[in-house]
Amino acid sequence: MRLLLALALLAAGSATAETSRTDNRPDIVLIVSDDGGYADFGFNGCKDFQTPALDRLASQGIVFRNAYVCASVCSPSRAGLLTGRHPSRIGHEFNPPQGRGGSAGLPLQEKTLADYLQQAGYTTAAFGKWHLGTSTGMTPNDRGFDHFYGFLGGSHDYLPAADRRPHQQAMTRNGHDEPLGEYMTDAIASEAAAYIGSQPINKPLFLYVAFNCPHSPMQAKPGMEDRFPGLRDQQRRTLAAMQASLDEGVARIAAAQQKRGRLDNTILWFINDNGAGTYWNFDNGGLRNRKGSLFDGGIKVASFVRWPQGIRRPGAWQPPVSSLDIAATVLAAAGIPPASLHGTQDGMSLLPFWREGTEPRQPRTLYWRQGRIGAIRRGDTKLLLIDGEPALLFDLKTDPNEKTDILAQHKDTAAALASDFARWNRLNRETAWAPASQAGVRQYSPSSPWDAWTRRASRETTAAHDGE
């Protein structure tokens, strides 16, 4: 009997030690800004205002100088970000129709980062903008997140004033509506920081913090514009004030992780969701075009990652990376094997390069499709394919702003890229819906009897297509 009692006490002690043991897998904090310009962040060259907290965090990690997102507008960009799968695989290429209860959004069979990490023992929470569906089964609490505070659609007022837009959607906390109680950017940061503070350190945490800043409507926190008396341009002054609130919000989140004792073992990844908005005086750093375009101005974004315990050599990173790489990288860091993931993953894990302090040597190939507009980048060469228009070819090493089309001098290269794009495109789904704001947009269907992409590559070109 004494022996049985001793064994029982030993087993109980072992169980207690096991449950209290700290899980050494990294926390993951994925922070997304909305519609910011490529050069509207200090770490990416902003000249007329600063983002000191973001700049400090970026200086302690890797700044991606050629970071691309998988789509040039909000919802498909987030679909790829949270699944690691290109949105064209599911036809999710435009923002879904607005309004609660519609069926448009991220299909239910798709698995999110939160699904995988939750199953692997992570605590998961999302804050801010969702924009991936509002109907039953499509909201964050149904997609792997233990906790959600934010809004389900694509935009929201920043100010809590009751008379600003009476039909504005409500904020949502785990399925229950509530009014916005403070400036939106502050509310998102406050909720995220408070949630971090409530979590134990012996269980890893995944936070998805999707700020809507600086997406329209352009509303600065009262009094914040006064910090920038030297900015005479009213639009830039409002933008600077909004970015200052974003910067302070990120600082609060980082401080909460520091207080929790996990910041140095946190993969803190910051990325903007697409190119600069077209409605304000954003700075896209000279990149051609903006949000909604497959020129680099619509898909090349500001991004950095900080992880002191996992990145051997911080600094600037020149090779192209994709937002699809985020899922592949953080899932690998969490010890989740690729064989257990749903469907084909389109990103590349950067973990081996971080551990070795190296960069990829082989040129990467990145793809985009937006209805009947497509693009492919291999190495420094990018081909833009526009149905009904001549194709365009650019050398991004010598012409990063895509000003000079070189297709006439490199038809063989263009034809090879077009052929590769057509091969990739055959794996994609029909475009699920056209944007309500662009009723004339033609949608791609794999049953089309002709291959527009290959035909475009053989044409001469005399003018660029700047449509968005």
Which residues are tagged catalytic?
A: 74, 131
Q: Which helix (H) or strand (E) holds 378?
A: strand 373-378
Beta-strand ranges (E) seen in 273-364 are 300-301, 303-306, 315-317, 321-322
Q: What is the DSSP string of 394-451?
A: EETTT-TT-----GGG-HHHHHHHHHHHHHHHTTSPPP----TT-TTPPPP-TT-SS-
Gyration radius of the chain over CA positions: 23
Distance (Å, rounded) from C-alpha 198 to C-alpha 209? 16
Question: 103: which 2 tokens?
Answer: 């069926």
Asked if 367 and 421 count as a contact pair (C-beta separation under 8 A), the reply is yes
Question: Would you put residue 45 in left (φ > 0), alpha (ψ -120 to 50) or beta?
Answer: left
Residue type present at position 450: W
Distance (Å, rounded) from C-alpha 380 to C-alpha 366? 11
> 85-124 b/e with 16+ CB inside 10 Å = b?
bbbbbbbbbbbbeeeeeeebbbbeebbbbbbbbbeeebbb
Alpha carbon 23 to its chain's center: 27
Beta bridge partners of 125: 147, 207
> 243-261 b/e with 16+ CB inside 10 Å = b?
bbbbbbbbbbbbebbeebe
